[in-house]
Amino acid sequence: MTQNTALEWRISDQLISYPDALTEMEERVQAIRAGEAGELVWLLEHPPLYTAGTSAKPADLVDPDRFPVYDAGRGGQYTYHGPGQRVGYFLLDLKKRGRDVRQFVYSLEEVIIRSLAAFGVTAERRAGRVGVWVTREDGREEKVAAIGVRVRQWVTYHGISINVEPDLSHFGGIVPCGIAEHGVTSMTDLGLPITMDDLDVVLKDVFDEVFGLESRPMYLEVQPAPDSKPAKLPYEAMPTEDGMQDTSNPIEDTHPVFQV
């Protein structure tokens, strides 16, 4: 029997438990790898919780009893998810889109940046920092969106979270993504109280621009942030000027990617 392998764009209206989401993603990844299901972009919200990535430091879990804490299995450190935050899980087949993890992460960042630009927000990448950032009028830099992905045999899962109208005090139980010196903001905090429906419409249009609703090779050229070292695949050693191998800056430290 011929399987439908077209990309599915799914929006869940109810809060989805994190374990249920993990199970759904794991099963879908297996089906995509087997050619039994199409790619999936899944937009949802979670109840309040913290997730720990593969680089999470115990000291960054400031209040471990505040909300449930889950081992996410993705790259990155501690992240908060909760109502008012648009989570987007991207289960894509990079064998069809180009086997380049750095380009995939860069393209995810671009989806966020272009989507927020549609609402008048200037969001940017920052050298050596995970996520997408805005600069307030007083010069403070705050994170408005997070990224954490995993890639299994060239099928991606996990994805992004954009702060629309979450309770920002909930981020106080962790050091978000291990970055203590900068704060967290949201669209509402920036004076732009958009709805999830507003954002979802834009996300789909921008995803089509950047990735394509029908599978096609990724086309964006990765541009390193100013003054940053070139991004590398996990555990890949870059040659130094004297020919030795530099293992001090793996992509796991600068981009939340974990390849197996």
Tell me the pLDDT of the chain (260 aa) as tens digits: 445 678 999 999 999 999 999 999 999 999 999 999 999 999 999 999 999 888 888 889 999 999 999 988 777 788 999 999 999 999 999 999 999 999 999 999 999 999 999 999 999 999 888 889 999 989 899 999 999 899 999 999 999 999 999 999 999 998 876 566 788 999 999 999 999 999 999 999 999 999 999 999 999 998 876 443 443 333 333 334 444 444 444 454 455 554 43
- What's the pLDDT score for residue 180? 66
Helix (H, G, I), strand (E, B) or coil at 5: coil
- The pLDDT of residue 154 is 96
The three-point CA angle 211-79-202 to 5° equals 30
Angle at 256 between CA 145 and CA 79, to 5 degrees: 50
C-alpha dist (Å) from residue 214 to 39, 40, 259? 9, 11, 24
Do residues 125 and 132 touch, judged by C-beta distance below 8 A? yes
C-alpha dihedral over 88, 90, 91, 95, to 10 degrees?
180
CA pair distance 203, 199, nearest whole angstrom: 6
- Buried b / exposed e over 43-64, threshold 16 CB at 10 Å, is bbbbebbbbbbbbbeeebbeee
- Residues with Cβ within 8 Å of 90's Cβ and at least 6 positions away in sequence, in order, are 40, 41, 108, 149, 156, 157, 158, 159, 160
- Residue 228: the pLDDT is 39
CA distances in angstroms from 9 to 40, 73, 98, listed in the order given: 6, 23, 21
pLDDT of res. 1: 44
Considering the candidates 29, 149, 160, 177, report the single residue annotated as catalytic: 177
pLDDT on residue 53: 83
Q: Which amino acid is at 123?
A: A
Q: Is residue 101 among the annotated active site residues?
A: no
CB 203 within 8 A of CB 111: yes
- Tokens 């790898």: give the residue: 33
pLDDT of residue 227: 45
